Structure formats: C-alpha cells, structure tokens
Amino acid sequence: MEQKYRRIRRFAQIMALVMFWEIAAPVAVFALTSGPSQPEVQQFQAAGTSGMVDLFTGNFNYNIPLFELPGPNGSYPFNLSYASGISMDQEASWVGLGWNLNPGVITRQMRGLPDEFEGDKVIVEQDMKADQTYGITVSPNMEIFGGDISKGGLNITRKYYYNSYRGFGIVTSVGPSLDFGEAAGNHTNLGLSLSLDTQEGVGFNFSAGFSRYRKFTAHRFTASIGYHSRTGLSDLGLNYTKSRPKTGRNGKVTNHSNGGSTALSFASPGFTPETFLPKTSINLNGSLKMGFGGGAFANFAAGGFYHSSWLAKNKDTIPAYGYQNLEKAGEEDLMDINREKEGNLHKHTPNLPAPNLTYDLYTAVGQGMSGSFRAFRSDVGILHNRKVYAKSGGGNAGIDISGLHYGNDFGLNFSQSKSGRWNKHNNILTQAAANNHEFYHFAGKNGRVADYEPWYFRMLGESTSESTNNLAYIHDDDAVRIQLEKKISLPRKNFLAMPQLESKYGHALNLNTWERYHDDKARKPRNSVIHAISQAQLGGDNAALEEYHIQIYEQNGNQISPNPQDLKPYSRNHPGHHTAGITVANPAGMRYVYALPAYNKKQVEASFSVDGSNVPCGPRIGIKIKNGKIDYKIPHTDQFYNRKEIPEYAHSYLLTSILGQDYVDADSIPGPSDGDFGFWVKFNYVRVNETFKWRTPFTEASFDKGRLPLLSDDKANYMYGEKEIWYLSSAETKTHISEWHLSRRLDGKGAAAELQNMPSPGNLASIQAGYAYKIDSIGLYSKIERIQNGILNPNADPISMAHFEYSYELCGNVPNNVNFDPTPGASAPANSGKLSLKKLWFTQQNSSRGAHSPYQFGYDASGNLSNPAYDGHAQDRWGTPKPYTNFCDNAEYPYTNQYGSRASLDSAASAWSLKEITLPTGGIMRIDYEADDYAYVQNKRAARMFKIKSLTSGAISDITYTQDYKSNYTQGERRRIYFETPFPIASKADLDPYFAGM
C-alpha cells in the first residue's frame, strides 16, 4: 500500500513540474508576424469572467461585455478582453496590443509533424563543406637489443596535416615500447604513446599485452587506457583472442580465431548538424619504409594520407506521416516522433534515449465551451528513424625496403552502414508480420471490425475506464521493457529482442497471449464528443454534413465590410486526408462546429554559415545574398546550409456555427439558415490574404555565435512561411445579425520575401507586403430591417453600434509598421508603433450620446521604461525590456535582472501594459504592476545566475572578502571561481545564503 501511495506522490510531483514548465518555458513563441498563427486566435476570455487578476500567473485581466446576439431560443455574447504580460515581439490583434475579441476557435500546437500528414512531402536541402584531411608523416625509429629486455623500440612520428574545417596542424608522437620476450610459453609487452597536437592538445595512451601458448592454442589478452588534456579520460579497452591452427584436407594450414572485445568511450561527440541525408567517405593511405641494421636496427618511414567525407546528395523529398497515420509509414519515411537525449551508447548507459510520439495539442474555446484535447491511438507500435545509408571506401599501399630485401602491401576496403529500424534479430518485428499481432505494430482500420478506431480524440484530464486485462498484460502501472536475450550462437553475440515484457523485478509476460484486438474491438470510452471529419469525407464542395457547407466573404478594397459583398461557397482544395473541421459537443448537448481551417500554406526553417567577425553578440546578422540565394560559402567557415520546408497544414479551426439540442435543418439551404428550427448561431468570415508572408525575425537572421574562440562555426537561422489571414465579418441568428467593419492598419504588415535584410530609409517596400486589419465598428441589426427580400437595406438603423479608436503609441519604430525608420539609432517616428486601443464607446440607433461617455485607456506611453521603442537586443529571454550598455550585455547574460532598482524592475515588467481605465461613469481605475519574483520552485529554493568575474589563482582588485568560506579548505589547489554579487560581502553570514542547500 505504501508503494502505491509513493507512486501517486511521484506522479503528482511530475504533473506539478509540467504545470510549472508551462510558466517557466512556454511553448508559444511570439513574432512580429505571429509565425504560422494569428494573434486573433491566441487569446480568449469567457464573457462572464469577473476576476481582474489571474491567480495562477498574477497577470492583470479585464473584460468588457460588448453585446449579445439575440435569437429566438437563446443568445450569444461577445466581449472584449485584455491580458497583461506584453512581450517585445508580441503582435497586436485586430483590437490592439494586449486586447482581443475572439468569438471562438480551436487552436493547434503543432508538435513534430502535423498529425494528419499521410505522405505529405517534406523537402530537405543541405550542403556543407567536405570534411577533408590530408598530410604526410615522417617517422625515424630505433629498435634496440640488450640487457635483460630482449626487445625494445622507440617510435617517433611527426605528422603535418591540413583539415578543411580546422586548418593546419602538427602532431608529434613519441611511443616507446618494451617486449619482454617469451618465457615458459608466456609473452608480455608494454606500450606507451604520447602525442602533442597543435589543434587537439596533449594525448596519452598506455597498453599492455599478455599472451599464453598451450598445446597449439594461443590466448592473448590486451588492455588499454587513454587520456586527453581536453576531455580527460577518453577510453578504456579490453580484448581477448583465442587462436588455433588447423590443417585442411589439401594440407593447407589456416589459423582459426575467435574472441571478444569491449571499449568504453568517454569522449563527448562533436557538433553534428541534424541531417536526413546520407554521407559518403573515402580513406587513402600510402607509406614507404627504409631501414639498415647494425648493433641496433634503425629505420625511416614516410607516408601520406587523405580522408574526405561529403554528402551523397544535397536535396531530398521525404514522405512524412503524422501521429494519426503512423501505421502507413515505411522504413524510408519520416515518422512523427522525437527522442530525448540522443547520444553514443555503451554498456554503462543507464537509459536509452526516450522516444516521444509528438502528437499535436488542441484547445477549443467559445462561449460555453472550453477544453484541451489530443489524439490517442488504440494500438502500440514500433518507432524508428527513416532509413539512411552511409558508404565508405578506401585503400592503402605500402613499400618496405631494407638492404637487398623488398616488400609491398596493397589493400582496398568498402563498408556501408545503415541507420533506421531494428530489423535483424528482432523477434517482435518478425512475429508482428507473421501473426498480425496488434501489440507489435501500428494497425490501421483495414481488416478490423467496423467499430475499431485506429485513433480518436479525447479531452485531457478526462477520467475514463480501462480494461483490467489490458493493464494486467503490461504489468499494471509498473515500468516495463522489452526483454533482450543474449544469444552466443549469433554473430558477435548479438542480442535478440523477445516478445516479452519484463518488469524491474525480472518478471516476464509473454505477449503472444495478449488478445488486444479482441479486447479493444469496441470504441474507447470517453466523456466528450469530439468528431473530426476529413476533406475527403466531405466530398469536396458538396459537403456531406450540412453544417460544413460554409460560405465566406470576398475582400473588396481597403475597407472590409459585409454590406457590398456576396457570400461565396468556400472551396476546399486541400489534400483529402487533411482535417476539414472538428465538431465538439459540450455537456449540455450544444454542438460547436469549427469548420473553417485556417491554413499555414508553407513553412521554412533555414540555418547557414555566416561571417560573424564583425558581429560580437547579435542577436541578428545580415544575410549575404547572391543571385537571389543565400551565399553561405564563407571562407574559413563550415560552409553549412540546411533548409527544411514543411507543406501546408491548418494552424487553427475557426468557429462557424453553434447548434442547439433542438436544432433541425428544415429547409433546402445547406447549414444553419432562417428556415431551420431550434437554436443556432452562424459565423461568417472574410479572407483578406491567401499568402500572407510571415518571418522570424522580421528582417535579417538570428545569429548563433557557436564556440566563442572560433569564427568557423558561426551560424544564422530564420523561419519563414505563408499563411491565410481570416477575420470575422458577420455573425447571425434567425432574428439578428452583427456586422463587423474592418480597415487596414499601419502595423502588422507581412514580410516581402523569404530573404530580406534591413532596408535603407525610404525603401520599406523591400521588407513589407500585405496588410493586417483592425475593427472600426460592430453594428447589431434586426434581420427584418436589415435584410428585406434578400437584399441589404442600407438605410436600416443599427440597434446598437460599438466604436473603436486607436493610436500607434506603444513599442514605437517596429519594423512591420509603414512608418518604420531603419536608420540606426533613430528616434521612433510618430505612429510607428503597434496598434493601441484608446477609446471604446457605444451608440444606440440614431443617438450618438454614448460617444460622450466612452471607455478610455491609458498606457503611460511617455516613459522610456514603461514604453520603450522596439529593439530586438533590449530584452531578456522572456521578452521583458532590459536596457543594455552594449549588445553583448543581454546576449551573454539574457537572464532577468533581479537585483536592480525595484522601481526600475517594476516599470520594465509593466512595459506597454494598460495603466489606467476611465469608465463611462467617470470613475478611474489605475493598475500598478510589480515584477514577478518567487522564492521557491516547488520545495527547492529558487536559484539565480551570476556573472563569473574571474578564474584565477591570485587576487583580483574588487574582492571585498577573502577569507576561506570552508574551514577545511586545502591550500593545494589555488584556483577559485570569482563571481559578481549584487551587494558587497562583509562577513561569512552575508555569504551563507549563496551556498545554502549545497
């Protein structure tokens, strides 16, 4: 019982950590063009929200009801919401920075690959400078006879080489060896090697060998150890070989041997860019050895070598399969998975890299609807990387000359390695194929009972039941692993994967008896109804489900209003396996239909070599463009280029209708219409741009300096894409309609191209293209007055009208504003910031009295700390403003300043946030902010980062306390780490808090 509760406590701790991680390292990333999403879908508050402070985050929230859209059987409320915590790169929505008006949406956090991908093509381009090493070796050696030692040797080698990545190098190696000869059938030798490499440092290797001969059988044992000045202990090795001569029928004597070896490497792997493409390598060696004898035997050896490794191809198109279609992925396809902490494996590796199925996360919101869900699979299968081959070939040639003797040797070699699925000696895989066993592979719907679901949606945190048989066959909630059986009969004593699960207690269960298919033929139980329908199931524009037959407004000029436009059928020209929409039912039986997918049409991720010699810290660097392409062939760099393009996918699903329990589609018009019975609300949208270009960063590229002493590994990267831009244009019930009037705004412009640098003044067209829009007003009308005989009545008076007034005062001189000034160090021009809501008022029919009693919003836009201009350098890693003296300050120390002036910290935390609200009644609400701070992370004291001032064995000038902190401190090692403290240390008591708990 105690073990059970201990597991529960551990699970609770893990879940608490997950909740904290969402605060400490949120997944959402803001960009000036919002990345693949839209700011209008990123924030939602229910109309009934009354609390002004989020008790979980401490952020300020505010909610203003705008109107309710009436209907014969109910109404739908619309509200304006505000959330503080504004970051430097956060984009303003259609009602201003920090504000939003969201009728309802399903947002999607795409992880890995989009879940519905079924062979969608991911295009990968990669290039890098060939890794070439060539040089010569010179080796004057001496073999000495004498004394008690029968044989000895001294090997001295000098190697001169050039590497295309690291440049010239010289290696000097000295290797004395001792051979004690043979006595009583035993043979012992020792070897020592010292090397000095101008590029790699000092290396040391020691080896010892012992041989024993008994009855024509030789047993040989060797051991070795390596140490390197850069990496410390680098390797340990043990080897055993048993050999015995054997005479064949033809009288020929052959030597048969077997044995085993083990090697443990402690070396850290070098930086290898992620790649999907195979490599080819070649190795060539040549040598010449000449010698002469006397009391000692001297020889001289010289040789040359050449090694080269390069990409076998520079571009590939890879079929990709998302979480919902894993059963269709082949060995050469890309699966929707990631692995944690990948690296080299050895016998002491405690855990294999943990594979993760990167399913997407969805959040559905609307008035009366809220919940997060994801896809779950009904099967368990084998995960693998796509199959990639690497080929290697080479040869060697050598000539030995000693006096009148002459000898030579020649050799050729070829090898091929493969990464991918474990096929050989894998009984799990072979039995899955032979028995069609459901546990061992992902299974589709083909050949299954009609009710079988390969995958299904379920709300997160939902409590449902599970068959006890299914749990018993996997050791209930105990951790299990596939049983590995060592087979001596197999070549190299390989392991065999057995069809058994093994617990940490050694108990094994045979999976051949698991009749999962029969147990799970029924649909999985869940409490919520979440139904997704594909484009193919809808049958193109002739929607099989009437509520999915949606219509959209077409853009007409700068002003976006539904009045002069006609609703046209929405053309669904997307792949058939893509999700066309999702219907979610709430506990009251209301159906929320999200039938309009907002597509990110294209997404590019690129990384490439740059010349960072004149860019000390970043965070951005200009792109060198040649003939319209990136010029990454920078001398003395890796000349690396990687570009990955992901095809189109829906980033969100817009709410198109809400259908009550009593709704009946009673007329010939598809979907909700005036002739239908029961409660319904319909939402109509306008698409203002099909290929709005977004980019992160907006200009140039993000700079990654790599290792500080080197310029060769400097890289830059950016993300680019093209997406649809949708806005709500009208919402209607059977009796009323609301019309949303939009117009272009000065900020929020799209990028002009995938490759764009900071422009010269007056040339903003080179970086800006495509417009975002803002809400000017929303009118609520009675349908009887507004629509007469199917025609809009332009003289109809609105029942009420909400009006919005804006400025562009917040975060001035933002690059995607039409008034941006690219001049370095320029002050922010007027109206060059982000859209800022200043006033909101209501009018009723012909009365404009409400204009005299508006809501007014103040942001304290005059202060440098409360409203700094846009500067990608001047922020910490959370996007909070952080002034700097030089660019390197925040690049090298991106952490939040916790010990500055409290007033300054609070002012920075409140940057661009709402400070004052004047109510229509005349009352004034003032909002004060303080910087986030916390003393504990769960049960541990919160830590902070300090700048290292010095690594030295001597005193430095600004030390204020030099007594040893530890009473048992030894004087043998004088090196200490000195770091800056926020306050002077005057006593040991002042120092104690820094090391508490250590």
More confident residue, 229 or 14: 229
Q: Which pLDDT tens digit goes with each residue over 338-364?
A: 887 776 666 666 777 778 899 999 999
DSSP state of 93: B
Task: Kindly tell me if the per-residue pLDDT of 254 is higher than 60.
Answer: no
CB 240 within 8 A of CB 261: yes
Range in 181-195, 375-389, 521-535, 653-667 the model is least confident about:
181-195
In a domain, 276, yes or no: yes
Ramachandran quadrant class, 277 (left: phi over 0; alpha: psi -120 to 50; beta: rest): beta
More confident residue, 471 or 285: 285
pLDDT confidence tier of residue 960, bands split at 50, 70 and 90 = very low
Token look-up 């269709």 returns 328
In the prediction, which pLDDT does 235 show?
62
Do 427 and 496 meet the contact criterion of CB atoms below 8 Å apart? Answer: yes
The predicted model gives 205-223 an average pLDDT of 73
pLDDT of 572? 82
Rounded Cα distance, 724 and 478, in Å: 47
Would you say residue 991 lies in a domain?
yes
Provide the pLDDT for residue 244. Answer: 65
Q: How far apart are the first and last CA of the chain?
A: 34
- Confidence band, pLDDT 50/70/90 cuts, at residue 844: very high
In the chain, the percentage of residues whose pLDDT exceeds 70 is: 78
What local confidence, expressed as pLDDT, does residue 106 receive? Answer: 97
Rounded-to-integer distance, Cα 786 and Cα 304, Å:
89
- Of 260, 289, 306, which one is at a domain's C-terminal end? 306
pLDDT over 90 percentage in the chain: 38
Composition of the chain by helix, strand, coil, percent to 5: 10, 45, 45
pLDDT for res 103:
96
- Looking at the 3D structure of the chain, how many domains does it have? 2
- What number of H helices and E strands is found in the chain? 9, 57
pLDDT tens, residue by residue, 305-340: 898 988 888 999 999 999 999 999 998 999 998 887
**Rounded Cα–Cα distance for residues 220 and 240 (Å):** 6
Residue 243 has pLDDT above 50, yes or no: yes
Report the chain's mean pLDDT, rounded to a whole number. Answer: 81
The answer on pLDDT for 688 being more than 90 is: yes
Residue 289 lies in a domain: yes
Does residue 566 sit within a domain? no
> Residue 511: which of 435, 597, 588 has the closest Cα?
435
* Tokens 């390695």 found at: 417
Reported as half-sphere exposure (CB side, CA atoms, 13 A), residue 647 has a value of 18
Q: Flag whether 179 is in a domain.
A: yes
The domain boundary residue, chosen from 288, 306, 324: 306
| CA distances in angstroms from 179 to 153, 243, 577, 722, listed in the order given | 8, 21, 71, 71
pLDDT tens digits, residue range 28-77?
Answer: 334 566 688 999 998 898 888 778 998 888 899 999 999 999 999 899 99
Please tell me the distance from the alpha carbon of residue 298 to that of residue 154, in angstroms, as a whole number: 10
- Tens digits of residue pLDDT in 520-530: 566 788 888 99
**H, E, C per residue of 691-749:** EEEEEECCCCEEEECCCCCCCCCCEEEEEEEEEEEEEEEEEECCCEEEEEEEEECCCCC
Q: What is the pLDDT of residues 572-587, one digit of tens each?
A: 889 999 999 999 999 8
Mean pLDDT on 838-846: 94
User: In the structure, what pLDDT confidence band is assigned to residue 490 with cuts at 50, 70 and 90?
Assistant: low
Q: Which 8-state DSSP code applies to residue 157? A: E
Residue 283 lies in a domain: yes
- Is 0.75 surpassed by the pTM of this model? yes
Query: What pLDDT does 705 receive?
Result: 85
Asked whether the predicted pLDDT for residue 193 surpasses 90, the reply is no
Residue span of the structural domain in which 213 resides = 131-306
Where does a domain end: 291, 306, 321?
306
Is 302 within the bounds of a domain? yes
233 C-beta neighbours (distance < 10 Å), count? 13
How much is the pLDDT for 191? 78
Alpha-carbon distances, residue 541 vs 146, 535, 686, 723 (angstroms): 96, 9, 18, 21
Q: What does the alpha-carbon distance between residue 798 and residue 786 come to, in Å, rounded to a whole number?
A: 8
Q: How far apart are CA 128 and CA 734, in angstroms?
A: 63
In this prediction, residue 279 carries a pLDDT of 83
Residue 993 lies in a domain: yes
Neighbours of 270 (CB within 10 A): 6
Task: Specify the pLDDT at position 409.
Answer: 80
What per-residue confidence (pLDDT) applies to 153? Answer: 66
- Under the banding of pLDDT at 50, 70 and 90, the label for residue 147 is very low
Q: Regarding beta strands 388-402 and 279-293, do their DSSP bridges make them parallel or antiparallel, or are they unpaired?
A: parallel
CA dist., res. 553 & res. 194, Å (int): 77
Query: CB atoms < 10 A from the CB of 23, how many?
Result: 11
CB atoms within 10 A of CB 246: 11
Q: Is 285 helix (H, G, I), strand (E, B) or coil?
A: strand
Stretch 819-834: mean pLDDT: 92
pLDDT score for 749: 95
CA distance 409 to 404: 17
Checking if the pLDDT of 4 tops 60, the result is: no
CA dist 251 and 289 (Å) reads 34
Q: Phi/psi class of residue 766: alpha, beta or left (left: φ > 0; alpha: ψ in -120 to 50)?
A: alpha
Judged against a pLDDT cut of 70, whether residue 501 lies above it is answered with yes
- Token pair of 596, please? 């309009």
Q: Which amino acid is at 135?
A: G
Could you report the per-residue pLDDT of 632-672, keeping only the tens digit for each?
999 988 899 999 999 999 999 999 999 999 999 999 888 99
Choice between 442 and 777, residue whose per-residue pLDDT is larger: 777
Between residues 520 and 519, the one the model is more confident about: 520
